[in-house]
Amino acid sequence: MHETDTPEGSDRGLYVYCFVPCGAELPLALAGTHEGESLALLRAGDVAAVYAQVRIAEFRTGPSADSSEEAARIVARACQHERVVEEVMKSTPVLPVRFGAVFSSAQALAQVLAENSQTISQFLFKVSDKQEWAVKGFVDVSKAAQWALSSDPALAEESRLMSDCAGTQYLQERRLQGKARRRAAALSRSAALEARLALESLAVDWRPSKLAHPTDAAQDTEMVLNCAFLVPTRDVAAFMERVETLSEQHRDKGIAFRLSGPWPPYSFCPTIGGTRQ
């Protein structure tokens, strides 16, 4: 969603956290004032927005005398945004709004709700009684290569026939390690696909995310899976158990799967106001 333009002379705006069904109520934990801001619901048709009145100047970008102070303020705001969305989603389906959406007036916000009511309603129905869980897969490349050397008959035979000549043996070992790492990479991709398919069967939808490169070059670890799954609440326990089982099955190969959640369903949000939420 694009941030709504606000007139230079305006002092207050409406900061939106998420959209909910029109019949939803704010959780007691968020009733009244939340960290200096009064949270409220703006209802329009079948949907509503959870918002707080804020000073628009706080969200205008511009030169800052202290960039570290500005960064700390933004981080604090982002954390507050996430806390509100996560608290609301404990009691009702939510369509989370990306951090930083400020509207100039209740009328501007009501217009967006009205124009996108059907899309919002359909999404809220889709995520009702479901949770977003993230699963990441990592491979310890050195451990996986060692497993490939011990389990692949061709590589094991090549290792057995290694030359006794030190110089030749060194070159052979280098080639063998390269083959083992390539074999390990192929096995890791296969394990990641196997895991995704196994977890997909317990979810109603899933979304891939970009594989992150390791930030520490000293760590011989690579990401092989990064997906979000929309899981029916009744199947969450089975989903968690399956992640554990997959990790156990591939532990000797140096592959581990890590689960996190439940998260607000950002990965499955539709386009509202021209951009994805």
Q: What is the pTM of this model?
A: 0.80
Element (H, E) at 13: strand 12-21
Q: In sequence order, what are the residues at sequence separation of 6 or more whose Cβ sits closer than 8 angstroms to the Cβ of residue 134?
A: 209, 226, 227, 228, 229, 259, 260, 261, 263
* Least confident stretch, 72-76, 155-159, 171-175, 190-194: 155-159
What was the pLDDT predicted at 4?
Answer: 43
Q: Is the model's pLDDT at 39 over the cut of 70?
A: yes
- Peptide linkage before 153 cis (omega within 30 of 0): no
What was the pLDDT predicted at 143?
Answer: 86
Report how far residue 191's alpha carbon sits from residue 193's, in angstroms, rounded to the nearest whole number: 5
Q: Where are the domains of the chain?
A: 12-127, 131-141+185-266
Residue 89 · residue 268 · CB < 8 Å: no
Q: What is the pLDDT of residues 98-120, one digit of tens each?
A: 998 889 899 999 999 999 999 99
pLDDT tier at 6, thresholds 50, 70, 90: very low
CATH architecture assignment, domain 131-141+185-266: 2-Layer Sandwich (3.30)
What was the pLDDT predicted at 166?
Answer: 52
Q: What is the pLDDT of residues 187-246, one digit of tens each?
A: 889 999 999 999 999 999 999 999 987 655 556 888 999 999 999 999 999 999 999 999
Q: Is the model's pLDDT at 71 over the cut of 90?
A: no
Residue corresponding to tokens 């124009």: 115
What was the pLDDT predicted at 7?
Answer: 44
Q: Strand 130-140 and strand 95-96: pairing?
A: unpaired
What was the pLDDT predicted at 75?
Answer: 85
Q: Is the model's pLDDT at 58 over the cut of 50?
A: yes
Please give the average per-residue pLDDT across 271-276, as a whole number: 64
